[in-house]
């Protein structure tokens, strides 16, 4: 019997040895995905980035505090086979925007969806960019910055404290534009390399020349809530009220996404990541969610991606958060 256990152990070890861990962002992993006959294509999105930077991209803490869940009536809505918020609300430019979080963990799914919803509910009259800078630096309970944060806490902060406006890096748009520079994911690019930097300080001040005082520039949420993980509930929420924030587990192969409908093929878990879902559809018979990432427009499909819908792929349907703007 002892020999039997030894042979079992050796065969188990040989299986482990036979499948070495593929290097992060490697050409081998790209080949594994592209040769696996899956629903998406892989390619190089990052070059010359260190592991701490990659980890910082995935700084969303999952399974945290939950907001009260809201259920929508789906009957009579006539949900279409495909839906894209960019086409539904063309007078809201933020829906089409891709941001770059730089080297700081994301608050982006939240401020993007808040910006979109404010524009949608005011029928395009209030089209502003809600400031990621203000949220990242001033929401202490959010735990953003370098250590990650809970998606729900960003929405609670919006309803309790409000968030000022602020555009992209160096845009001089709004009260508090983003101060973390976009970094270079590619070879021979013009931006600085991607490294993990310190979180900026909470200033509670608008930039010089902005005509409104910080306190007066705050945009508030009236209500923040969780959305049920049932796909029809998420679809009803999107269809009626606009984009939502979602959080999911990022595996190494997701960093290599280029096109198609993502589902996990290979690689280790890197942590949680918060993004914005703005629609749904089907591609070659595979149902998907349409989402906006915050890793710059040169990542993935011009900054956007599709992820498999209906089977809680990587937890994408488990942590949907949204809210109603106060107008």
- 242-266 tens-digit pLDDT: 999 999 999 999 999 999 999 999 9
Contacts of 268 (CB under 8 A, 6+ apart): 21, 251, 252
What are the φ/ψ torsions at residue 193 (nearest 5 degrees)? -65, 155
Mean pLDDT, range 162-189, rounded to an integer: 81
User: What are the tens digits of pLDDT across the range 35-80?
Assistant: 999 999 999 988 777 777 787 788 788 888 899 999 999 999 999 9
Arithmetic mean of pLDDT over the chain: 88
Alpha helices in the chain (DSSP H): 2-18, 27-34, 51-57, 85-88, 108-121, 132-138, 151-160, 231-241
Please list the helix, strand and coil fractions of the chain in percent, rounded to the nearest 5, in that order: 30, 20, 50
Q: Is the pLDDT of residue 15 over 50?
A: no
Which one has a higher pLDDT value, 23 or 76?
Answer: 76
> What is the third-level CATH fold of 22-325?
Cathepsin B; Chain A (3.90.70)
Q: How far apart are CA 95 and CA 86, in angstroms?
A: 6
Q: Residue 248's pLDDT is what?
A: 95
Q: Residue 173's pLDDT is what?
A: 92
Domain ranges across the chain: 22-325
């Amino acid at each position: 019997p002892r020999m039997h256990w030894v042979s079992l152990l050796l065969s188990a070890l040989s299986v482990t040895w036979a499948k070495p861990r593929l290097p992060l962002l490697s050409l081998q992993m790209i080949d594994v995905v592209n040769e696996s006959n899956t629903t998406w294509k892989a390619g190089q999105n990052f070059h010359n980035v260190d592991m701490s930077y990659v980890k910082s991209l995935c700084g969303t803490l999952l399974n945290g505090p939950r907001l009260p869940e809201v259920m929508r009536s789906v009957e009579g809505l006539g949900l279409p086979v495909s839906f894209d918020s960019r086409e539904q609300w063309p007078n809201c430019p933020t829906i089409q925007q891709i941001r770059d979080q730089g080297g700081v963990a994301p608050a982006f799914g939240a401020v993007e969806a808040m910006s979109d919803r404010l524009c949608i509910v005011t029928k395009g009259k209030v089209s502003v960019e809600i400031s990621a800078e203000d949220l990242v630096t001033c929401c202490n309970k959010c735990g953003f910055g370098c250590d990650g944060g809970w998606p729900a806490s960003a929405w609670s902060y919006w309803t309790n404290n409000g968030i000022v406006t602020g555009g992209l890096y160096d845009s001089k748009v709004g009260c508090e534009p983003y101060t973390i520079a976009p970094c270079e994911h590619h070879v021979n690019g013009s931006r600085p390399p991607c490294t993990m930097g310190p979180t900026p300080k909470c200033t509670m001040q608008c930039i010089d020349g902005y005509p409104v005082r910080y306190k007066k520039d705050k945009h508030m949420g009236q209500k923040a809530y969780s959305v049920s993980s049932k796909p029809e509930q998420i679809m009803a929420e999107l269809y009626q009220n606009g984009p939502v924030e979602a959080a999911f587990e990022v595996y190494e192969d997701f960093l290599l996404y280029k096109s198609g409908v993502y589902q996990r093929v290979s690689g280790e878990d890197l942590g949680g990541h918060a993004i914005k879902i703005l629609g749904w559809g089907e591609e070659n018979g595979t149902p998907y969610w349409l989402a906006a990432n915050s890793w710059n427009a040169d990542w993935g499909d011009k900054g956007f991606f599709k992820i498999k819908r209906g089977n809680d792929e990587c937890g994408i349907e488990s942590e949907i958060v949204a809210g109603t703007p106060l107008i």
